[in-house]
């Protein structure tokens, strides 16, 4: 399925791996007139930034399990290395995902099989039930071939975005399409029981005399509606005034995506979930705060918006934590908790006073641009963002080749620069610059690197953690760490209007910096907020907590903030991109992309907007950027909803 690439073509820039930073750099280089080749051994866009349908995620788990058994065979390309050259072998194993554990709590009938609606190929799913009190350590992985994965991306162009135009960045283009296939990990994945394949699309009740209750959701329904899910491997939000939103607007890449505003910011205190007031109106209408507390909070937030103008207020406190600093202010314990965990979104020990003030100011600064909270979420998930930049790159002539692995880098012994790569076919591809994601390097090259880990959990639940009149709420909740050495857990709950889950369910992402395995880190929080979905509890309509239908835990490598000097014998024209970090926003990826772009193209503008069609003058070899449609979002005009009731106006009102 992979064609040989033209080795004689003058590539100026080669990317191996298609993550978000690489996609941004590729788009920027292509927009600047560079010839870009983007290859990845995977069969889907995004790498660890990707999103999958439900069947696609199961295939990803299966692929990752098989990947762990790959052995790095003796290279067959050694005879292609000349005397004045040496090779840097790249790893065939992906070790960025570990400790994968999957649990199914939804009711199942092992004789009842269902095919995913709209699938191109029948779906052979492996399923194991969970005990009512303890989930079995089992993963259910579909035995599907790679043709099924094509469906995931084709779906993106078929679906019609349905977000509220008032809360969304406008777009006209469809997402980049590409085949998606998939990963599972290691010793924690236990073989599970197989189910037979049938073509029946409608779930059949086990007992035909008893009609299933309206709120009963079976595993077969999840399989059938699998294309309704878009499950991200990394859970992030976009700050409405963050670097990524600014880049999307500046480059006009925003027309390839659509966004929804996060509707609620929640807090977890004393065993209860409650909503945190964001706007000025929310603060004064809040029943959780006394009138004195409302005045205290508004006064402190007004100070935080321009704290640098009042150095006397924080001088002398720089060396203590933000938590200790809040204790010195005229704030009640209730307000300290809200500011620390739900506005600054930090913990008692994680941030200094200055860092906490900066985080609070950033939160307030982002309020009111697109809605009542500082955050946006892309429809169909975070995995859409790399594809948006890939599309811009392709529009300006970039070449993409999936399922195309790179065997080694060819280095000139004299200049110590990389001159070419050798691919899986033994073909030599010459270029000036090479971008490689950290996971491609061998253990020997990374022997001095100390990696952190991210603990992740993905849950499918039957209701929200905080029920309201509307069932279409998008929420973020920070659960503080209870023990020293542990980390606060970020919970993002997505409803079906985000196009990430089927109707009647919620998709919940949990993220924290790892101290143990993902399940050990996150299960205590899961147990506080949710209960397993069991047959016994189905009849109990008084259950307050949401019920878990399906759960996935895994650890992901965090390679951000690793110095270039940590990699052994890295050629000067090979640039390293990191995988996702644990932060809530995407600023790290954008900063990394811009820094590397400036090293490669020091005199070029970073992702300038494409020209208007009427301004394009075509000559013999000129590019024909078809997507330079005049459907851009005006940057300044995008700042809607600047209501006087928003906390975002504190900056203006204080001037």
Residue 245 in 3-state DSSP? helix
Measured CA to CA, the distance from residue 421 to residue 255 in angstroms comes to 34
* Fold exhibited by the domain 13-67+75-92+380-450+560-600: FAD/NAD(P)-binding domain (3.50.50)
Task: Say how far residue 16 (Cα) sits from the centre of its chain.
Answer: 20
Q: Model confidence at 285, in pLDDT bands (50, 70, 90)?
A: confident
Long-range contacts for 335-338 (Cβ within 8 Å, ≥24 apart)? 335/289, 335/293, 335/296, 335/297, 335/300, 337/267, 337/269, 338/267, 338/276, 338/297
Question: What is the rounded CA–CA span in Å between residue 171 and residue 628?
Answer: 13
Q: Please determine, for residue 288, whether its predicted confidence score (pLDDT) is greater than 80.
A: yes
Q: Is the model more confident about 5 or about 446? A: 446
Asked if 375 contacts 498 with a C-beta cutoff of 8 angstroms, the reply is: no
Distances (CA, A) of 279 to 234, 286, 414, 429, 490: 28, 10, 62, 55, 22
Grade residue 76 by pLDDT with cuts at 50, 70 and 90. low
Cβ burial 415-445 (10 Å sphere, 16+ → b, else e): eeebbbbbbbeebebebbbbbbbbbbbbeeb
Task: Give the mean pLDDT of the chain.
Answer: 78
Average pLDDT (140-168) is: 35
pLDDT score of 405: 87
pLDDT tens digits along 302-328? 999 999 999 888 888 988 999 999 999
The pLDDT assigned to 192 comes to: 36
Cα distance between residue 111 and residue 101, in whole Å: 24
Phi, psi (rounded to 5 degrees) for 281: -65, -40
What per-residue confidence (pLDDT) applies to 541? 57
540-548 mean pLDDT: 76
> In terms of pLDDT, which residue wins out, 486 or 433?
433
494: Cα within 13 Å, side-chain hemisphere: 32
**What is the number of other CB atoms lying within 10 angstroms of the CB of residue 404?**
23
pLDDT in tens, 89-138: 888 888 899 999 999 998 876 545 566 766 555 443 333 334 333 333 33
For 448-502, the pLDDT digits (tens) are: 899 999 999 999 999 999 988 888 999 999 999 888 778 999 999 999 999 999 9
H helix or E strand, kind and range, residue 429: strand 428-437
Using 50, 70 and 90 to split pLDDT, how confident is the model at 649? very low
* Residue 56 DSSP one-character state: H
Is 425 strand, coil or helix?
A: coil
pLDDT value of residue 319: 87
Q: Is the pTM of this model over 0.75?
A: yes
Most confident range (mean pLDDT) of 305-314, 535-544, 564-573, 586-595 is: 586-595
303 near 310, Cβ under 8 Å? Answer: yes
72-86, 250-264, 518-532: which has the minimum mean pLDDT? 72-86
What pLDDT, on the 0 to 100 scale, is given for residue 70?
Answer: 58
| pLDDT confidence band for 10 (50 / 70 / 90) | low
Domain parsing of the chain, residue ranges:
13-67+75-92+380-450+560-600, 270-375
Cα–Cα distances in Å, from 251 out to 33, 245, 246? Answer: 15, 10, 9
What is the full DSSP assignment across 571-614?
-TTEEEE----SSSSSHHHHHHHHHHHHHHSTTS-SSPPPPPGG
Q: Angle 20-31/587-600 helices, nearest 10 degrees?
A: 40
What topology is assigned to 270-375 in CATH?
A: Guanine Nucleotide Dissociation Inhibitor; domain 1 (1.10.405)
Average pLDDT over residues 139-166: 35
Residue 484's CB is within 10 A of a number of other CB atoms, namely 7
What pLDDT sits at residue 542? Answer: 61
DSSP state of 48: G
Helix, strand, coil % over all residues of the chain, rounded to 5: 30, 20, 50
């Amino acid at each position: 399925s992979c064609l040989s690439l033209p080795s004689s073509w003058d590539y100026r820039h080669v990317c191996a791996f298609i993550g978000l930073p690489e996609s941004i750099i590729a788009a920027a280089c292509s927009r600047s007139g560079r010839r870009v080749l983007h290859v990845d051994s995977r069969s889907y866009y995004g790498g660890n930034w990707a999103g999958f349908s439900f069947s696609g995620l199961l295939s990803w788990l299966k692929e990752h399990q098989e990947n762990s058994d790959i052995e790095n065979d003796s290279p067959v390309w050694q005879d292609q290395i000349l005397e004045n050259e040496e090779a840097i072998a790249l790893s065939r194993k992906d070790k960025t995902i570990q400790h994968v554990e999957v649990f199914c709590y939804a009711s199942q009938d092992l004789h009842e099989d269902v095919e995913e609606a709209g699938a191109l190929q029948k779906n052979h799913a492996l399923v194991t039930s969970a005990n009512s009190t303890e989930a079995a350590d089992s993963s259910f992985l579909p035995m599907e071939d790679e043709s099924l994965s094509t469906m995931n991306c084709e779906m993106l162009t078929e679906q019609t975005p349905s977000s509220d135009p008032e809360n969304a960045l406008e777009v006209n283009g469809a997402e980049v399409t590409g085949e998606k296939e998939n990963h599972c990990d290691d010793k924690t994945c236990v073989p599970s029981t197989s189910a037979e394949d049938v073509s029946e699309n409608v779930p059949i009740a086990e007992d035909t005399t008893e009609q299933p209750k309206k709120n009963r959701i079976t595993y077969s329904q999840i399989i059938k509606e699998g294309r309704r899910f878009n499950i991200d491997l990394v859970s992030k939000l976009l700050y409405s005034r963050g670097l990524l939103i600014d880049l999307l607007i500046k480059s006009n890449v925003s027309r390839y995506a659509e966004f929804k505003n996060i509707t609620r910011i929640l807090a977890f205190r004393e065993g209860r979930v409650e909503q945190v007031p964001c706007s000025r109106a929310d603060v004064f209408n809040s029943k959780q705060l006394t009138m004195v507390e409302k005045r205290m909070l508004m006064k402190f937030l007004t100070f935080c918006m321009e704290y640098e103008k009042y150095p006397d207020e924080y001088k002398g406190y720089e060396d203590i934590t933000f938590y200790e600093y809040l204790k010195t202010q005229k704030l009640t314990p209730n307000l300290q908790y809200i500011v620390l965990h739900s506005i600054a979104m930090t913990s008692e020990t994680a941030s200094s006073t200055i860092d906490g003030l900066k985080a609070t100011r950033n939160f307030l600064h982002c309020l009111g641009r697109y809605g009542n909270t500082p955050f946006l979420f892309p429809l169909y998930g975070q995995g859409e963002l790399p594809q948006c930049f890939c599309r811009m790159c392709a529009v300006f002539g970039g070449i993409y080749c999936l399922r195309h692995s790179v065997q080694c880098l060819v280095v000139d012994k004299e200049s110590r620069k990389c001159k070419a790569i050798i691919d899986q076919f033994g073909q030599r591809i010459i270029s000036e610059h090479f971008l490689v994601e950290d996971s491609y390097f061998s253990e020997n090259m990374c022997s001095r690197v100390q990696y952190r880990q991210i603990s992740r959990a993905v849950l499918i639940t039957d209701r929200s953690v905080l029920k309201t009149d509307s069932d279409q709420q998008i929420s973020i909740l920070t659960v503080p760490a209870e023990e020293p050495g542990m980390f606060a857990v970020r919970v993002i709950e997505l409803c079906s209007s985000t196009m990430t889950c089927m109707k009647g369910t919620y998709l919940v992402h949990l993220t924290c910096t790892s101290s143990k395995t993902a399940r050990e880190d996150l299960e205590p929080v899961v147990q506080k907020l949710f209960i397993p979905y069991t047959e016994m509890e189905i009849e109990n309509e008084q259950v307050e907590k949401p019920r878990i239908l399906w759960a996935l835990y895994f650890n992901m490598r965090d390679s951000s903030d690793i110095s270039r000097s940590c990699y052994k014998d890295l050629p000067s024209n090979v640039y390293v991109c990191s995988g996702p970090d644990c932060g809530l926003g995407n600023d790290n990826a954008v900063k990394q992309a811009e820094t590397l772009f400036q090293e490669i193209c020091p005199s070029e503008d970073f992702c300038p907007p494409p020209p208007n069609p009427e301004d394009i003058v075509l000559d013999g070899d000129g590019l024909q950027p078809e997507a330079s449609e005049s459907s851009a979002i005006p940057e300044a005009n995008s700042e809607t909803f600047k209501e006087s009731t928003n906390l975002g106006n504190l900056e203006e009102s204080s001037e």
